[in-house]
Chains A and B, each alone.
Chain A
Amino acid sequence: MFKIEVTIKKRSRELPYSGFIIPLSSIIISISISLIILGLYGVDPGKFFKVFTTALISPSSIRYAIPLILSGVGLAVAYKANVWNIGAEGQILAGALVASGLALYYIPPTMPHEAAILLLYIAAFLAGSLTALIPAILKALYNVNEVLSTLMINYIMMQIVNYLVYGPWRGKKEYGYPRTDIFPNNTILPQLEIGGLKTTINIPTLILMIGSAIVIYVILFKTKWGYEIRVYGLSEEAARYGGLEIWKIIILVMVISGGLAGLAGAGEVLGVYKQLIRAERVSAGFGYTAIIVAWLGNLNPLGILLSGYFIGVLVSMGYTLQIFTGVPYGTVNIFTGTLLLTLISLDFLSKYSPVIRVRR
């Protein structure tokens, strides 16, 4: 009888370039795992790569990347501080909901386009922030676990949006269908045109996305605030010892991450759907996918630009995969899920080295 004994030793220093090597090798490993699974299912890998390369240059990949990156950057701020905001889904919905309500009922049709859009973005940011502020305050005051509270708020927001589109906000011109009317023209975001063809990429949110990634990068790595956030994230004790006011950090990171998710929500309804639709479809799980984006980008806003684009490619690939191979869209989830699992496992292996001994 053999006895396998695994001992784990902390490496004296992290593996070099692990910030790049880990995500890259995770991608490779999860592609391989997914190819094996798809292969078992009779999908030709050639087709898989063809679909993949088509998606790499498709504008719809950018369209999906926009909400993913915006919320992902926000989440990264929270995760850097070790605050587990998994409520991006609800915060996206809050942004979408407030933007829709204002666009439909409050913004006068005479208001200039730019002013209306600016107002809607600000409102959506505030809506997302407020949604995130509730769990933040509960955590700061009573130490309520933010994972559980943000998760619950996601579902509360979903139900509120559904209540509105099935009830009081249901469109007057939608023949009883559960969605609001199309927004007035002065509140709809302009879309990017490539070669004379309109795409579903809306320009203002695209700019906001790039801008927020850069701003957050600067805040996180070049300012005192960012330093405090990172210190708190590394060790609560160290932060307390250093005299940091922890409650401020919790509130700050939640407000930022909720607000950015709120912007993403506004972008979806004002720029893509032009009306508020059922909750499951407004955000379609982007709030959860953004968590993957944040980790895959190593919680670095610039890395998230890349990882968000990559996951955007995957999302749009899911649809084409369905067209080409008949494999259900949901299969892409296997890929993103394994990606995340390998990522955090490799992260461990880069810091620790397992020693395997076989003894008799």
Chain B
Amino acid sequence: MVDRRDFLKYTGLGIVAFALGAGVGYTLKPTGVGEGAKTVTVTKTQKFTETVTQTVTGAEKLKAAWIYVGPIGDYGWTHAHDIGRKEAETAFPWLETSYVENIDEAKTRGAIEQFISEGYKVIFTTSFDHMNPTFEAAKDHSDIIFFHCSGYKRWDNMGTYFADLYQVYYLNGLMAGALTKSNKIGYVAAHLIPEVIRHINAFAIGIKEVNPDAKVYVIRIGAWYAPDKAREAAATLVENGVDVLAFTEDTPSTIQFAQSYYEDKDVLIPVFSHYSPMYEYGKDVVVSGQVVRWGKIYTDILSKVYSGFYTAKNLKDVDYWWLLDTGAVDVGAETYDDHLWINSKFKTQFDGIRVTEKYTGSSMSLTELIESRYSQMKDRNMVFDPFTGPLSGTWYLSEGGTVLGKEYSPGDPVEIPKGVRLGHDDLWGMGWFVDNVIIQRE
């Protein structure tokens, strides 16, 4: 008969030993296991602007469903998508729509199946979180058309779309660089994935153009929809000397924080609105921001589905990557119809700031610089792009990756030579930060 205490103590020792062993084993584990280092999806970037409007009377209604990651009441990302859904529904009498909110990756598959059983033929999933379940569902339901927003996986019946904001963030950066006095600018980031990294970089490039000394401090909150976390992150940034804020999170929480800070402490923290027009949440603090008109993309996709141009067989190369020139995105924070809207309170300030245009060397007001860059990027021929060398930075993402065909691993310095412009794939898989971004190391 084993003594009770002894037994327990030995088992306890065993557990400790196991834990130690596992720990040691873990640290010694072979690294870099796994096939092929990366999967780069190269596809034609579609730039349709003409909308095929076709009215077929008497035909069956097309049923389309949207799956949202947050609530439509977030007044940010999901809200903007829902405005787009409503726009499509109003535009097409033959369209019937439905949606479901608050679907994270665990719930996505169930929501998709539910919609399919309800007879929906087109399903939009609107978060990076939804990518894998959507992809799985697309392979299983070859007769249903899927469109996934912000991802990179496509199938015969699954296309992707995105309205990208990097140009808009660059323009916001021009403004932020002029507004900071402490030379510390804060950025509340949902996740550090290429999309957000690209936006932070574009913002930082704009800042550097008008203020080479300013740095961007980033806090990652680890969720797309987390107004409470965004608020805490914003407060932490401000307590540490940041005096201008931008963010990628799906709610106006950061703006509400800045507005209340202004009211309580009489300290102005200028902030940039994100996705939906958020001016009314912070009339004293919102400078400008990014506006997305998803309706442009949704009406385009749905009219092409309805007319039979898109089927469940030909979507493998359909990838919308819509920029300023398409009208799907814009600079502003007041309404969805903004065209380079800047809060007048700040605009008068910008009128008085003199800057030198870096290419022509001519002297102009900041407002004029912003306006000229805006029209340059609105141009179909993309006369200007923020991601043009010389740029330098450091590779960040643990998976490593390529820039201009060259391989990089974490910590490697990245140099973009003068005059060289990054292409779609470099932007799409961006895993490095420009050098005026201060980021927690991996």
Is there a direct interface between A and B, measured as CB atoms under 8 Å apart in the complex? Answer: yes
Identify the A interface with B (CB < 8 A): 58, 60, 101, 104-106, 109, 130, 133-134, 137, 140-141, 166-167, 170-178, 181-182, 197-198, 200, 245, 247, 251, 273-275, 277-278, 281, 284, 316, 319-320, 322-323, 326, 328-329
With contacts A130-B18, A137-B8, A141-B5 taken as known, whether A172 is within 8 angstroms of B105 at the C-beta atoms is no
A residues less than 8 Å from B15 (CB atoms): 130, 133-134, 137
Pairs A–B under 8 Å by Cβ, sample size 28:
A106-B29, A137-B11, A137-B12, A140-B4, A141-B8, A141-B9, A166-B222, A167-B442, A170-B398, A171-B399, A172-B400, A176-B192, A176-B194, A177-B128, A181-B34, A197-B141, A198-B140, A245-B4, A273-B106, A274-B132, A277-B106, A278-B222, A319-B103, A319-B110, A323-B98, A323-B100, A326-B101, A329-B107
Closest CB in chain B relative to A47 CB, distance in Å: 13
The answer to whether B114 touches A319 (Cβ under 8 A) is yes
Q: Which of A109, A178, A245, A281 contacts B191 (CB 8 A)?
A: A178
Closest CB in chain A relative to B313 CB, distance in Å: 19
The answer to whether A323 touches B193 (Cβ under 8 A) is no
The answer to whether B193 touches A133 (Cβ under 8 A) is no
B residues less than 8 Å from A247 (CB atoms): 4, 7-8
The answer to whether B193 touches A176 (Cβ under 8 A) is yes
A residues less than 8 Å from B24 (CB atoms): none
A residues less than 8 Å from B400 (CB atoms): 172
C-alpha gap A319/B103 in the complex (Å): 9
C-alpha gap A200/B111 in the complex (Å): 12
The answer to whether B110 touches A177 (Cβ under 8 A) is no
B270 contacts the other chain (CB 8 A): no
A residues less than 8 Å from B191 (CB atoms): 176-178
A residues less than 8 Å from B397 (CB atoms): 175-176
B residues less than 8 Å from A174 (CB atoms): 399
For B101, give the chain A residue with the smallest CB separation.
A322
The answer to whether A140 touches B8 (Cβ under 8 A) is yes
Closest CB in chain B relative to A190 CB, distance in Å: 14
For A318, give the chain B residue with the smallest CB separation.
B107
The answer to whether B8 touches A281 (Cβ under 8 A) is no
The A-contacting residues of B in range 2-21, CB under 8 angstroms, are: 4-5, 7-9, 11-12, 15, 18
The answer to whether A323 touches B114 (Cβ under 8 A) is yes
Closest CB in chain A relative to B39 CB, distance in Å: 6
The answer to whether B114 touches A175 (Cβ under 8 A) is no
B113 contacts the other chain (CB 8 A): yes
C-alpha gap A288/B138 in the complex (Å): 33
The answer to whether A105 touches B140 (Cβ under 8 A) is no
The answer to whether A177 touches B193 (Cβ under 8 A) is yes
B33 contacts the other chain (CB 8 A): yes
C-alpha gap A105/B399 in the complex (Å): 16
